[in-house]
Amino acid sequence: MNTQRKINLSQSFVTLGILVVLFIVFLVEVFLGGSENTNVLIKMGAMNNFAVVAGHQWWRLFMAQFLHIGIMHLVSNAIIIYYMGQYMEPLMGHVRFLVTYLLAGVGGNLMSLAFSADRGFSAGASTALFGLFGAMTAIGLRNLHNPMIAFLGRQAFVLALINLALDIFVPGIDIWGHIGGLIAGFLLAIILGDRVMKTYNPKWRVLAAAVLVVYVVWTVRTGMIINF
C-alpha cells in the first residue's frame, strides 16, 4: 500500500504542486483583506481589461489563473484539477502537463480579454482547468485505439460541455475564459504530444501551431479595443 502511494505521488507531483500554490495564494488573499475583496483581487493580478491594455499589465493574463474569489471557488476548481491531474500528468509527462496547464490558463484569459466586459474583473484556475479538458480531448482523439484513453478523452469533452452549459445560467462566470482555455489546451496537446503516442502527425502539429498563433494575434488585437 505504501509503495503504491509513493508511485502515485511520483506520477502526479506537478498536480500536487499546482494545488499547493493555489492554496498558498488564496491564504495571501485572505491575509491581505479577503479573497472576495475587489481591491485585493485587482492588486494581486485579477483580469481587468483596462488594467491589461491601458496599464500595460500583461502579467495579469498569467497571474489571474492563481487567484480565486471565495473558498468554494477554490475548492471546486482544486477537486477537478486533482482528478484530471491523476491520469493526465502520467499520460502527458510532467513538463508537458505543466506547460499545457499554464499556457492554457493564459490562452483562456486572452479570450476573456477579447470578449469579456472591459469594466469587469475575473480570476480563477478554471481557464487552465478547461485547458486540461481540451488537452485530454485531443489526447483521446490521438489514442482511439486505446479504449481507456479514448474513454477519458470523451469524458473530458463531455465535462467541458456540461460546465459550459452551466456557465450560461450562472451569473458572474467568465464563459469566454473557459472557451479560450478549452481551445488553447486542445491545440497545445496536439503540438506537445503525450507519452503514449508521443506526438501527432507533423502536419497536424504545424497546423495546430499555426492556429494557435492566429488565435493569440486575434485575441490580442481584439482585446486592444477598449470601450471607454
Please return the burial class of 204, using the count of CB atoms within 10 Å of its CB with bins 0-12, 13-18 and 19+.
Answer: middle
In the prediction, which pLDDT does 197 show?
A: 65
Contacts of 100 (CB under 8 A, 6+ apart): 92, 131, 132, 135, 185, 188, 189, 192
Question: Which among 12, 35, 68, 178 is annotated as catalytic?
Answer: 178
Question: Which among 56, 68, 126, 145 is annotated as catalytic?
Answer: 126
Q: How far apart are CA 205 and CA 211, in angstroms?
A: 10
Within 90-162, strands assigned E span none
* 86-90, 130-134, 139-143, 164-168: range with highest mean pLDDT: 130-134
φ, ψ (nearest 5 deg) of residue 198: 65, -75
Write the pLDDT tens digit of every residue in 15-64. Answer: 999 999 999 999 999 999 999 999 999 999 999 999 999 999 999 999 99
Cell 465535462 belongs to: 159
Q: How far apart are CA 55 and CA 180, in angstroms?
A: 23
Cell 502537463 belongs to: 97
pLDDT at 4 over 50: no
The yes-or-no answer on residue 145 being catalytic is: no
For the residues 88-109, what does the mean pLDDT come to?
Answer: 96
pLDDT at 176 over 50: yes
In the prediction, which pLDDT does 228 show?
A: 58
Residue 202 pLDDT grade (very low, low, confident, very high; cuts 50, 70, 90)? confident
pLDDT at 226 over 80: no
pLDDT at 225 over 90: no
φ, ψ (nearest 5 deg) of residue 194: -150, 175
Closest CA to 124 of 81, 162, 155: 81
Q: How far apart are CA 65 and CA 109, in angstroms?
A: 8
In the prediction, which pLDDT does 5 show?
A: 40
The larger pLDDT score, comparing residue 7 to residue 64, is at: 64
The larger pLDDT score, comparing residue 5 to residue 96, is at: 96
Write the pLDDT tens digit of every residue in 160-170. Answer: 999 999 888 88
SS3 content of the chain, % helix, strand, coil (to 5): 75, 0, 20
The yes-or-no answer on residue 56 being catalytic is: no
Neighbours of 134 (CB within 10 A): 29
Q: How far apart are CA 48 and CA 57, in angstroms?
A: 9
The mean of the pLDDT values for the chain is 91
pLDDT at 179 over 80: yes
- Report CA Rg, the chain: 17
Q: How far apart are CA 228 and CA 226, in angstroms?
A: 6
Residue 201 pLDDT grade (very low, low, confident, very high; cuts 50, 70, 90)? confident
